[in-house]
């Protein structure tokens, strides 16, 4: 059965809430297994075993957290081995216009360098899910949608 891995970093708990919602949305899609891991316990082997990888990070100065960046830096050891997997991203930030899009794009950029497939969205929040401070119900719904869309794409491409 295909696996969707959600890896996240969270200092205040906001990104963790979003990660749980992404996992919930992916679990609603029949035919996929879902694994949710904090970046502190995620490994390169987890990335290899997954068919879809969703990464969530708080926004720090318009960029992903140092822990998420470290995982990507270590993933150079896997270069060429993530080719064709599905990638998606989400972030929580401290306010509006504080770098959420650039954080998501930095994660997606790493996926693209790995040769992964990234799905855009024609509706609002084209690049992934983003929340401000404590995620509200609309932002949680966006996260569930991101998880479901990622799982569906994994199944379509599998």
Residue 23's pLDDT band (boundaries 50, 70, 90)? Answer: very high
Q: Which CATH superfamily is domain 3-157 in?
A: Flavodoxin domain (3.40.50.360)
6: helix, strand or coil? strand
Chain mean pLDDT for the chain: 96
Whether the model clears a pTM of 0.95, i.e. scores above it, the answer is: yes
CA–CA separation, 101 and 38 (whole Å): 22
d(CA 59, CA 95): 10
């Amino acid at each position: 059965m295909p696996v969707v891995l959600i890896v996240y970093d969270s200092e205040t708990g906001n990104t963790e809430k979003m990660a749980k919602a992404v996992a919930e949305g992916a679990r609603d899609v029949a035919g996929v297994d879902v694994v949710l891991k904090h970046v502190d316990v995620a490994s390169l082997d987890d990335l290899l075993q997954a068919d879809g990888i969703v990464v969530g990070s708080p926004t720090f100065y318009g960029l992903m957290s140092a822990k998420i960046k470290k995982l990507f830096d270590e993933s150079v050891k896997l270069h060429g081995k993530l080719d064709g997997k599905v990638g998606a991203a989400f972030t929580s930030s401290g306010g509006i216009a504080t770098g959420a899009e650039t954080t998501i794009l930095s994660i997606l950029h790493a996926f693209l360098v790995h040769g992964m497939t990234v799905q855009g969205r024609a509706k609002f929040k084209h690049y992934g899910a983003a929340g401000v401070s404590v995620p509200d119900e609309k932002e949680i719904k966006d996260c569930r949608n991101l998880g479901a869309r990622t799982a569906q794409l994994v199944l379509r491409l599998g």
